[in-house]
Structure formats: structure tokens, C-alpha cells
Amino acid sequence: MHLAAFWFGLVCDTAGTEMMRRIAESGGTSGGPGLHAILGALALVLMAIHAVWATVTYLKQNPATLRTFHRFSLSVWGLWLLPYVGGLILANMK
């Protein structure tokens, strides 16, 4: 069940990011490679790596791999928060 949640989360976050990109473009903002866009892209890449690693970890069932996976999960989540919170701050500054 958790494994499906990782993949579903990646699909939803990618879809949401694409929708926000389209909204930003329609509002006349370029959505160019600013810090927010770079962090967002990095977060999506890390989420994809995270989902793949979750699949490998689930299939191996190795205790050492599980410990490493949990530490990596916290790092990915923390990094994901940067563009998320950054977007909220940028939106409220306008």
C-alpha cells in the first residue's frame, strides 16, 4: 500500500506542477529557470528516485536498505518542502 502511495504521490505532484506551470504562463509570467522552478524540478527528480528506491527496497526486504531508505525519505520530504513553501511565499508577495 505504501509503495502505491509513493508512485501516486509522484503522479499527483507532477500533474499539479504542470498545472501550476500552465497557470503561471497564462498569467504572463515566464516561469523561467528561477530558484523556485529549479527547486521544483529537483524535487520531482528526487521524488522519482525515491519511488524507484522504494520499489527496490520493498522487493529486497533488506534491513540495512530499509534504514537507509527511511533517512533518504526524510531528506526528500524536506527538500520537497522548499519549493512548496517557496511557492506559497512568492504567491503571497504579489
**Domain ranges for the chain:** 2-93
Question: Rounded distance, CA 17 to CA 23, Å?
Answer: 10
> What average pLDDT does range 49-58 have in this prediction?
89
Residue 4 CB contacts under 8 Å (≥ 6 apart), including other chains: none
Instruction: Look at the pTM and tell me if it is higher than 0.75.
Output: no
Q: What is the pLDDT of residues 4-53, one digit of tens each?
A: 998 998 999 899 888 887 887 777 665 556 777 787 888 889 889 989 98
- In the chain, helix, strand, coil percent, each to 5? 85, 0, 15
Q: Give me the pLDDT at residue 28, please.
A: 62
Give the CA angle between residues 48, 52, 79 to the nearest 5°: 40
> What average pLDDT does range 70-92 have in this prediction?
81
Question: With 0-12 CB in 10 A as exposed, 13-18 as middle and 19+ as buried, what is 42?
Answer: middle
Q: Give me the pLDDT at residue 2, please.
A: 84
Q: Give me the pLDDT at residue 30, please.
A: 55
